A and B are shown apart, each in its own frame.
Chain A
Amino acid sequence: MVSRPHGGRLVDRVVAGRRRIHLLEEARELARLELSAGLAADVANIAHGVYSPLEGFMVREDYEGVLYDMRLHNDVPWTIPIVLDASREELRGVREGDDILLSYRGRPLAIMKVEEIYEWDKVEYVERVYKTRDPSHPGVRRTMARKDLLVGGPIDLLEDPPEPFESVRLWPKEARVLFELRGWRTIAGFQTRNVPHLGHEYVQKAALTFVDGLFVNPLVGWKKPGDYRDEVIVDAYRVLLDKYFPRDSVVFSVLRMEMRYAGPREAVHHAIVRKNFGCTHFIVGRDHAGVGNYYGPYEAWEIFREFPDLGVTPLFIREAFYCRKCGQMVNEKICPHSEEYRVRISGTKIREMLKRGVKPPEYMMRPEVAEAVLRHPNPFIEEE
């Protein structure tokens, strides 16, 4: 049986039929709050149950519980605040108890019942979530640029925001039905923001050896400059899965959700989200969701010890490397040979090669994957 939704119930706040028509009419009279792409994605994720058990943006009680105790007010584990920020000017005339219209690119997106409007301490936020206030940290920089007030309350989704990868985007209900149709009882979720190299493939296949299916679920949406573009990740994975994985053992689907680069806290968040898709296991990488040297290489593994009630089993699979003596991809635990025989697979080195238009060697990246990346004139996100 696939994983139970986090908090016990898969949230569904998508409005359809007559109620939707009625709400769209009502929305004309409401105060409107225009959202960024990241917040619009959060609205859709809430409505489709990706963030179950959240029914909306966090009110203060949940926000503080998450910030200080990594738990919602009802004790359910949660590590990244899901909050809606707005300026005083945007909220002029809006009172607690009001309904407001959330829009994206000028189109109605959702109705929100404003339960609470409250102030937040952004410095406290970044110190708790990112463990640093260094403005060089991409998550810190983005948080500090957010607006001064938070608005909490449930939402009702009127229309999904546009999704360029609609043909490879599944919502939790859809993934759960698909897993059931395939007869999978154990599913390992794999989070990524990169194109796959052989180290990733090793980890995925190691996990797949022990579970019924693999759910490859790359993030699309805002990422820092220098990361791979969304379309490059999708193309690279299509090639890898088509040529090197049995078709009936993998499901590929994108998830529109911003990277925070919050290291250990974000690793738990990624696990919770995949649990809602039905994953029973979640692959936690070395320095998962990390950036620079802000987090220790295994901090993202250690944090899971604090959650005996997470309801999804983390898989800590050691980093893979190629050993010339073993003649294959191995890891620290299974290779007895010294460093001189080991060829480390560095994501940074691979990026540098691809930037120069050079195909990385085959022990680092499948040639077909490298070709798929290099077909894009500029595979990387540029400076903002």
Chain B
Amino acid sequence: MGERRSSRYTTVSIPVPLYNRIRELIRGTGFSSVSQFVTYILREVVAEMERERLESEVVSEEEKRAIIERLRRLGYI
């Protein structure tokens, strides 16, 4: 399992002063390392950016008409 897990990580560089600030900041917070904190923050930011980029439409107009008909038949509308 060790091989699989190590292959799932890579290295990025951040300025040393920033690293030091984060190290101080996370002391006693439950984050066990700077890497863990940076991963957490990046996931939050990336998810937000992805949300903004995604298409909102998940149902075509044709599908929508058929769905509305079914919803009416079932008494939902």
A residues sitting closer than 8 Å to B (CB atoms) are: 1, 4-5, 8-10, 64-65, 68-69, 75, 167-168, 170, 173-174, 176-178, 181, 251, 307-311
- Subset of 27 A-B contacts with CB under 8 Å: A1-B56, A4-B54, A5-B58, A8-B50, A10-B58, A64-B1, A64-B4, A68-B5, A75-B43, A167-B74, A167-B75, A173-B58, A173-B59, A176-B58, A176-B59, A177-B59, A177-B68, A178-B77, A181-B68, A181-B77, A251-B76, A307-B43, A308-B44, A309-B43, A309-B44, A309-B46, A311-B47
* Residue numbers in A under 8 Å from B51 (CB-CB): 4, 311
Give Cα A69–Cα B76 distance, bound, in whole angstroms: 40
Partner of B71, one of A1, A174, A308, A309: A174
Give Cα A377–Cα B21 distance, bound, in whole angstroms: 66
The size of the chain B interface, using a CB distance under 8 A, is: 26
In the complex, per-residue mask of B46-74: 1 if CB is within 8 Å of any chain A CB, else 0: 11001100101011000110011011001
Measured CB to CB, the closest approach of chain B to A93, in angstroms, equals 29
Give Cα A178–Cα B73 distance, bound, in whole angstroms: 13
* Residue numbers in B under 8 Å from A9 (CB-CB): 54, 58
Q: Select from chain A the residue with minimum beta-carbon distance to B77.
A: A181
* Residue numbers in A under 8 Å from B67 (CB-CB): 173-174, 177
Are A178's CB and B71's CB within 8 A? yes
Give Cα A1–Cα B51 distance, bound, in whole angstroms: 12
Q: Does B19 contact A (CB under 8 A)?
A: no
Give Cα A5–Cα B57 distance, bound, in whole angstroms: 10
